[in-house]
């Protein structure tokens, strides 16, 4: 947990770590996760006129600027204030901050505007409608309805625009088409496009009763376009490599964003989610409203092909998650808003953003990404695979010890009436296996090698065919050698002349058995790799536990003979035990060259059981 915290991931539910290792797809937000969340207005159209410098008010008529900044000051969830040092500070969402900073450069006095005019009704930005509005009453009692939101949506409600002479000009189809082309051009350059518009309204038509006013819906028609701004939010450095790493690991990254489809396409190409323009067609690139218009069967059919969903709502994200799960995917979802809570809850792994995320989103999540960075999401995938792999390593090691100890004692008891491994010795072996073994193998740090394999399927067995192969080879070797020592050890070890030959033989069996486990712990570190020593010195805990195990084994054999039913061994017997244990290393190398079938062992038992039931 502490190590994952160092990688900017706060785990709220432990089971999510293992599940994340099986993730087959990540549905990621764009803003702040794939991008830097550092937004700046870099392009502006005032009416139909493109401004050479987006933050220059000198070329704008005073009345135009006045009505524009009035709308920006009131139609926002952000705020402007002065710090103790006197510097102007802006708060709010990244988009709000970008527009407020732009308005300040245009000469906006936030506090003065707030005091001179008052907001009668406020409609906060809605992720479904993609816009927000406010009704503002000016000192002269005139009322302006201001709207701000997704450029193509707000533009669709505009019937006029304000030109450089401060006149309201009809919005013809040609002019509307020209502005739509400008929006597409900005979106193709990965700019977020926001339109700002207003209309006048009769003051006497505003409800005076508070209850009626709370239910009053702001007029959305006959708007007058003021400006369209293009906001740049650059991709995070390294995010393209992270996306490629996920793709190599068999994890498909899908972008689900509320931005314009062209903006989403441009960012997806920049991030590597889309390989080329030829990929940017339905259903690979789709709008949320199109996806939600399909039936459930149609959504299930196309969901796996979707790489980018633009102009999507939180409900579209939820529908996508549900479709992917029905198709058998293990789905991870990133989210930061309150409306993302259903998708975070529905997903197999919900990843909330720690900086921009709301408390509701964090509460519904399994893991919180503390720096809102997609690279941290990839690190969580690597950690998840590491947790799962470490569990498998420990199980392989544990089963090898159990099978070998059980077979040795059972065969010896049946054939000779005595067991070579006493109860105290088995307790010590179990201490190695359960406590020290778990600490040594379960703390292996994640490696890049984990991202070279495909995700583990939902129904894949925990014990793989590779594990069964390794387990069988090591257990059979230990059982064979130690049973030979049990029945022929006195003669093989030349102990006939010694008065305590039987006790020495049993001590050698016990000592060789423990040392076999020490050597096999190295094998268990890398179940499917030839080089079992790669990275071993970086895991100081593993090296420390191996050292402690060896020291304790020497103490038990040499100094606790009465307690452990052992006797002191000379250096020749120690070399014999070490030699027996060391053979497990080349044996493991040879074993890993043996191919294993792809069909899990458990599947063969199901097939045979089905055949017996069918024949019966």
- What is the spatial distance between Cα 120 and Cα 136, in angstroms, rounded to a whole number? 6
- What is the spatial distance between Cα 346 and Cα 332, in angstroms, rounded to a whole number? 10
What sections of 526-600 are H helices per DSSP?
540-559, 561-564, 571-582, 584-592
- What is the spatial distance between Cα 227 and Cα 107, in angstroms, rounded to a whole number? 16
- What is the spatial distance between Cα 356 and Cα 203, in angstroms, rounded to a whole number? 38
Residue 432 near residue 553, CB atoms below 8 Å: no
What sections of 351-436 are H helices per DSSP?
359-364, 374-416, 423-430
Joined together, the tokens standing for residue 28 give 């990621």
The fold for domain 1-36+236-372 equals: Rossmann fold (3.40.50)
Angle (nearest 5°) at CA 36 between 34 and 38: 140
Q: What size, in residues, is the chain?
A: 616
Helix count and strand count (H, E) for the chain: 25, 19
Query: CA of 544: how far to CAs of 115, 171, 433, 436, in Å?
Result: 69, 76, 15, 10
- What is the spatial distance between Cα 549 and Cα 515, in angstroms, rounded to a whole number? 9
Nearest to 575 by CA among 518, 506, 515: 515
104's CB contacts (< 8 A; 6+ apart) are 80, 88, 90, 110
- What is the spatial distance between Cα 83 and Cα 90, in angstroms, rounded to a whole number? 10
Task: Match 């704008």 to its residue by tokens.
Answer: 60
Half-sphere exposure (Cβ direction) of 312: Cα atoms closer than 13 Å: 33
Q: What pTM was estimated for this model as a whole? A: 0.81
- What is the spatial distance between Cα 469 and Cα 10, in angstroms, rounded to a whole number? 37
Q: What region, left, alpha or beta, does residue 272 occupy, with left being phi > 0 and alpha being psi -120 to 50 degrees? A: left
Nearest to 76 by CA among 50, 43, 101, 57: 101
The fold for domain 40-232 equals: Calcium-transporting ATPase, cytoplasmic domain N (3.40.1110)
Q: Which long-range contacts (CB under 8 A, 24 or more apart) does 323-326 make?
A: 323/296, 323/299, 324/25, 324/27, 326/300
* 3-state SS assignment for residue 597: coil
Compute, in degrees rounded to 10, the torsion defined by CA atoms 495, 501, 503, 508: 0
340's CB contacts (< 8 A; 6+ apart) are 314, 317, 333, 352, 361
* 3-state SS assignment for residue 186: helix
- The answer to whether the peptide bond before residue 283 is cis (omega within 30 degrees of 0) is yes
Half-sphere exposure (Cβ direction) of 436: Cα atoms closer than 13 Å: 22
Phi, psi of 415 (to 5 degrees): -85, -35
* 3-state SS assignment for residue 91: strand
Residue 81 near residue 91, CB atoms below 8 Å: yes
Domain 385-611 has CATH 3.90.226.10: no
What sections of 75-198 are H helices per DSSP?
94-105, 110-116, 151-155, 173-188
Question: Which of 7, 29, 52, 140 does the annotation list as catalytic?
Answer: 29
Q: At what angle do helices 374-416 and 501-525 cross, to 10 degrees?
A: 160
541's CB contacts (< 8 A; 6+ apart) are 439, 440, 443
Residue 256 near residue 192, CB atoms below 8 Å: no
Is 109 annotated in the active site? no
* 3-state SS assignment for residue 79: strand
Strand runs labelled E in 489-568 = none
**Every domain range in the chain assigned CATH 3.40.1110.10:** 40-232
With residue 73 as reference, give the H or E element that holds it.
helix 62-74
Phi, psi of 375 (to 5 degrees): -60, -35
Average pLDDT of each block of 10 consecutive residues along the chain (616 residues)? 86 89 93 86 89 71 87 91 83 90 88 88 86 90 92 93 88 93 92 93 86 87 93 90 93 92 91 88 91 94 94 93 95 90 94 91 94 91 92 92 93 88 89 81 85 85 91 96 92 86 92 94 92 89 92 92 89 94 95 86 61 55
**Every domain range in the chain assigned CATH 1.20.1110.10:** 385-611
Residue 327 near residue 303, CB atoms below 8 Å: yes
Task: Assign 3-class secondary structure to 291-330.
Answer: HHHCCHHHHHHHHHHCCEEECCCHHHHHHHHHHHHHCCCC
**Every domain range in the chain assigned CATH 3.40.50.1000:** 1-36+236-372
- What is the spatial distance between Cα 426 and Cα 429, in angstroms, rounded to a whole number? 5
**Which pLDDT belongs to residue 442?**
84
How many angstroms separate the first and last alpha carbons of the chain? 52
Q: At what angle do helices 501-525 and 540-559 cross, to 10 degrees?
A: 180
Nearest to 581 by CA among 499, 517, 502, 532: 517
- What is the spatial distance between Cα 123 and Cα 133, in angstroms, rounded to a whole number? 5
With residue 373 as reference, give the H or E element that holds it.
none
């Amino acid at each position: 947990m502490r190590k994952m915290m160092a990688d900017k991931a706060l785990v709220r539910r432990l089971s999510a770590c293992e599940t994340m290792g099986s993730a087959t797809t990540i549905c990621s937000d764009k803003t702040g996760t794939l991008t830097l969340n550092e937004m700046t207005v870099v392009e502006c159209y005032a009416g139909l006129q493109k401004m050479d410098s987006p933050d220059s008010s000198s070329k704008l008529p005073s009345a135009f600027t006045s009505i524009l900044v009035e709308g920006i000051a009131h139609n926002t969830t952000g705020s402007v204030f002065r710090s103790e040092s006197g510097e102007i500070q802006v708060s709010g969402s990244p988009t709000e901050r970008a527009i407020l900073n732009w308005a300040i450069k245009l000469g906006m006095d936030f506090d003065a505007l707030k005091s001179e005019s008052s907001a009668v009704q406020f409609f906060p930005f809605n992720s479904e409608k993609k816009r927000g509005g406010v009704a503002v009453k000016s000192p002269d009692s005139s009322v302006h309805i201001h709207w701000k939101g997704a450029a193509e949506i707000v533009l669709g409600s505009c019937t006029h625009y304000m030109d450089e002479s401060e006149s309201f000009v009809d919005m013809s189809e040609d002019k509307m088409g020209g502005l739509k082309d400008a929006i597409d051009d900005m979106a193709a350059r990965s700019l977020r496009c926001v339109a700002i518009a207003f209309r006048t309204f009769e003051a006497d038509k505003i409800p005076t009763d508070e209850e009626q006013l709370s239910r009053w819906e702001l007029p959305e028609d006959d708007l007058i376009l003021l400006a369209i701004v293009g906001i740049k939010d650059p991709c995070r450095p390294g995010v393209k490599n992270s996306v490629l790493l996920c793709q190599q690991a068999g994890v498909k990254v899908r972008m689900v964003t509320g931005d314009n489809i062209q903006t989403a396409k441009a960012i997806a190409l920049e991030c590597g989610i889309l390989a080329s323009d030829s990929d940017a067609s339905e259903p690979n690139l789709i709008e949320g409203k199109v996806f939600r218009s399909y039936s459930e069967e149609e959504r299930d059919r196309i969901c796996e092909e979707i790489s980018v969903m633009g102009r999507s709502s939180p409900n579209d994200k939820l529908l996508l998650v549900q479709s992917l799960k029905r198709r058998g995917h293990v789905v991870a979802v990133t989210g930061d808003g309150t409306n993302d809570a259903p998708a975070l809850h529905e997903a197999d792994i919900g990843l909330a953003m720690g900086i921009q995320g709301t408390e509701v989103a964090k509460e519904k999540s399994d893991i919180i990404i503390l720096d809102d960075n997609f690279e941290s999401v990839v690190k969580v995938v690597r950690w998840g695979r590491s947790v799962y792999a470490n569990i498998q390593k420990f199980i392989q090691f544990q089963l090898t010890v159990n099978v070998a100890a059980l077979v040795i004692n059972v065969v010896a008891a049946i054939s000779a009436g005595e067991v070579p491994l006493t109860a105290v010795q088995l307790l010590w072996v179990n201490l190695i296996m359960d406590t020290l073994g778990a600490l040594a193998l379960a703390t292996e740090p994640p490696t890049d090698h984990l991202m070279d394999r495909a995700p583990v399927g939902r129904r894949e067995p925990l014990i793989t065919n590779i594990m069964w192969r390794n387990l069988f080879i090591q257990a059979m070797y230990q059982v064979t050698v130690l049973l030979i020592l049990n029945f022929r050890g006195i003669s093989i070890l030349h102990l006939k002349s010694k008065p305590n030959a039987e006790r020495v033989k049993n001590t050698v069996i016990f000592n060789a058995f423990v040392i076999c486990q020490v050597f096999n712990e190295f094998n268990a570190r890398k179940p499917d790799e030839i080089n079992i020593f790669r990275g071993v010195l970086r895991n100081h805990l593993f090296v420390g536990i191996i050292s402690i195990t060896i020291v304790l084994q020497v103490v038990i054999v040499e100094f606790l003979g009465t307690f452990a039913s052992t006797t002191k061994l000379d250096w020749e017997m120690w070399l014999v035990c070490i030699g027996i244990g060391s053979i497990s290393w080349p044996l493991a190398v040879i074993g890993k060259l043996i191919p294993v079938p792809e069909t899990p062992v458990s599947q063969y038992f199901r097939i045979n059981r089905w055949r017996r039931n069918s024949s019966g």
